[in-house]
Chains A and B, each alone.
Chain A
Amino acid sequence: METDQTKVISVLVENKPGVLHGVANLFRRRNFNIESITVGLSENIDTSRMTITVKGDEKTLEQVVKQLAKLIDVLKVEELEPGHFVMRELALIKVNVPTTKDRSDIINCVEVFRGRIIDVSTDSLTVEITGTPDKLDAFLKLMQTNGIIELARTGITALARGAKTVRIDE
């Protein structure tokens, strides 16, 4: 058996209804494994950028790229080269704070991780934190001691470093 690896794929698609359905449908139908998918506008108003993290062996990942490229509304698909792209994920975490000491511990932690407190109530704090998935994992591990009430992670979004781009060449 080939070993599974995780890859990040940058996909430019038409910014119109039904496109996400087509992509999601493809992953389901072909039995591909999505770790995360994020979608938003790209540098062109008529184009959206999807950042898809997939897990699979080499052959499966090759098929993911090729099958995506076949969709008519997909304009460009490129695998981001490991080590040559930047990626970020955002998480919102609502943490339990029963005592004042807990509160100051958490605030310290948030500062170390360069997060922000964005909501405060008597029993909880909501933290916004951005970074690589590893950094988020590390932060979440620390928060688990207090008890995480709610968690929302966006999944990663990414761009190639420097002069390298994934753009539509007209």
Chain B
Amino acid sequence: MTKMSGAKVLVESLEQQNVDVIFGILGGAILPVYDALCGNEKIRHILARHEQGAAHAAEGYARASGRVGVCIATSGPGATNLVTGIANAYLDSSPLIAITGQVPSTGVNSSYMIGKDAFQEADIIGITTPITKHNYQPRTIAEIQPMVNAAFYIASSGRPGPVLIDLPKNVQSDIADVDMGITGKIEARGYKPALTPDLTKISKAVDLLANAVEPMILAGGGVISANASDELTQMSDLLIAPVATTFMGKGAFPECHPLSVGCIGMHGNPAANRLIGETDVLLAVGTRFSDRATANLDTFAPNAKKIHIDIDPAELGKNIDVDVPIVGDAKVSLKLLHNAAAKKLPKMKVNAWWSKRIKETKEQLSPLLKDRPKELVPKALLIELRKLLPVDTIVTTEVGQNQMWSALYFQALKPRTFISSGGLGTMGFGFPAAIGAKVACPDRPVVDIAGDGSFLMTEQELACSVAEKIPVIVIVLNNSVLGMVAQWQRMLYNRRYMAVHLGKTPDFVKLAEAYGAQGLRVNSIEEFQKAVKTALNSDVTTVIDVPIGSENDVVPFVPPGCGLPQQRGDY
């Protein structure tokens, strides 16, 4: 037993979880924790310029590294500013720990404040209950370490997600005798994620696959979080099945692979959208069949028997009915399924017609195999960018057209190299996430493919990236318009533009320079090539401003309410 403050207990508990970096902003109600961090050599604190940036950076760190990301803020507005970042991590199932200060819970006389609408008090437990996997508010020092242990276990295991720890100020500053021994026991008896699938389900799945004529695989973000890309590739090789991914699954399967057909969805690759309408057995792994991925469910894979593997039992049967639901970790389940299927392999005939059909469909429909424009338009730019960047470069995106163009035209070749806000669709996510990813992988280039509208939502983190010496590259596809909503107004609202034109957007070169970053503007593919090379060799964050026309559409497009086969638009 040692006498320690609650704040010190928190910091030591974080060290026990091997936390090496936290992103945050301090304030009154979290001061004791910052005091305990002062002089700490194991944990690097990165000062964000807005708490939302801290939360997104922590998520970028988590998704690039596969480890738990940690962000920290004070009570009240500090905590509520984290909310968008927490919701983002919840919808994209990213392991995140958010630590918030809270006003004192007890004290002598009337010095306790929780529930009294104290200065900078917000009920962050109430606010985050629907957007966290779990949340904790330790009321005694003895609770801190067990809660931190449980929080990390819950955030990182099963279907990952955010966990919030709200720490009243008195619990941080009080002193108590504490035993910091590591017990390894997790105090969360109601939480038992099932990793290993039911073997009878596996054999049912094998039966379906063995009789499949036109098998296809759909891989979601769960494949990436389970680090199951190798198992996915083995499965695809065995079945000779084309692999489509969801947007969140982008990178789970190398998009240069002959069997890769890209993303399905509203702005998906037409080859993927067409083949999923033809397959007779669909093996879906680690996906929740989101509306943006499936479009209208009546015409989603209508001919297919469906096998669905997911670690979250609640996802099975939630959005679509499946023939074989399998609860399990993607990696473990795919390995078992592969081994079981391989034994039956002699019975699995390779369907030459299907292989030919896959090849043909790609040649006919895949946007990357169609004409490549010479001028400075998003497609040409993103194809060029792939050539300029090393294979292991981490790319983040903002939200909107920049994001969907990236999905269509920028090939992700490895898992955890394409990080974007898929579920919540948070504009402003990409830049702070890039900062977090760079902290996790300092030796690899990190590029945020941005739009001008999105970048303006979190551009203040330029200050963070410059001051903390975290050099990333931001490519602003600058069309002076909130492009995706403008596209919807153009296509679906009869060109009645309302509140989408940004007018004179800031001079992004000067903006970058004002922060001490490097700003470059390009007006041709040649200049773009040069700028990216300069940025890759720079030790300071570089913003590359790329003026593009304001009426570029992301096409093809499945209008809301329609099914994937109703994709339209020349591309």
Contact = CB atoms under 8 A, between A and B. Distances in A.
B130 A72 contact: no
Interface string A1-41: 00000000000011000100110011001000000000000
B130 A67 contact: no
Which residue of B130, B190, B191, B313 has the most chain A CB atoms within 10 A of its CB atom?
A: B190
B314 interface: yes
Which residue of A14, A67, A70 has the most chain B CB atoms within 10 A of its CB atom?
A: A70
Nearest to B313: A66
B190 A22 contact: no
Contacts of B256: none
A69 B314 CA distance: 9
Contacts of B68: none
Contacts of B137: 18
A69 B129 contact: no
Contacts of B126: 21
Nearest to A68: B314
Nearest to B130: A29
A75 to B, nearest CB: 4
A13 B191 CA distance: 12
Given A63-B318, A67-B314, A69-B313, A74 B129 contact: no
A71 interface: yes
B156 to A, nearest CB: 14
Nearest to A46: B189
A62 B316 CA distance: 10
Interface in B106-139: 125-126, 129-130, 133-134, 137
Contacts of A75: 189-190
Interface in B181-204: 188-191
A73 interface: yes
A59 interface: yes
A72 B190 CA distance: 5
Contacts of B312: 70
B506 interface: no
B130 A71 contact: no
A22 B134 CA distance: 9
B25 interface: no
A13 B190 CA distance: 8
B408 to A, nearest CB: 33
B291 to A, nearest CB: 15
Interface in B274-314: 312-314
B317 A73 contact: no
Nearest to B154: A72
Interface in A55-91: 59, 62-63, 66-67, 69-75
Contacts of A29: 130
A14 B129 contact: no
Contact of B190 (A14, A21, A59): A14
Contacts of A18: 125, 129, 137
A26 B312 CA distance: 16
A11 to B, nearest CB: 11
B317 A72 contact: no
Contacts of B134: 72-73
Given A72-B134, A72-B188, A75-B189, A25 B314 contact: no
B129 A25 contact: yes
B190 A63 contact: no
Contact of B130 (A25, A59, A168): A25
A74 B313 contact: no
A21 B129 CA distance: 8
B96 to A, nearest CB: 16
A71 B190 contact: yes
A74 B190 contact: yes
B148 to A, nearest CB: 15
Nearest to A12: B190
A17 to B, nearest CB: 9
Nearest to B150: A72
Contacts of B190: 13-14, 71-75
B258 to A, nearest CB: 38
B191 A72 contact: yes
A168 B191 CA distance: 13
Nearest to B321: A59
A157 to B, nearest CB: 21
Interface in B454-478: none
B317 A22 contact: no
Contact of A70 (B188, B189, B314): B314
Contacts of B318: 63, 66
B129 A62 contact: no
Interface of B: 125-126, 129-130, 133-134, 137, 154, 188-191, 312-314, 317-318
21 contacts: A13-B190, A18-B125, A18-B129, A18-B137, A21-B126, A21-B129, A22-B129, A29-B130, A62-B317, A66-B314, A66-B318, A70-B312, A70-B314, A71-B190, A72-B133, A72-B188, A72-B190, A73-B134, A74-B190, A75-B189, A75-B190
A-B pairs with lowest CB-CB distance, top 4: A66-B314, A72-B134, A75-B190, A29-B130
Interface of A: 13-14, 18, 21-22, 25-26, 29, 59, 62-63, 66-67, 69-75, 168
Given A22-B129, A69-B313, A72-B134, 7 more contacts: A25-B129, A25-B130, A62-B317, A63-B317, A70-B312, A72-B188, A74-B190
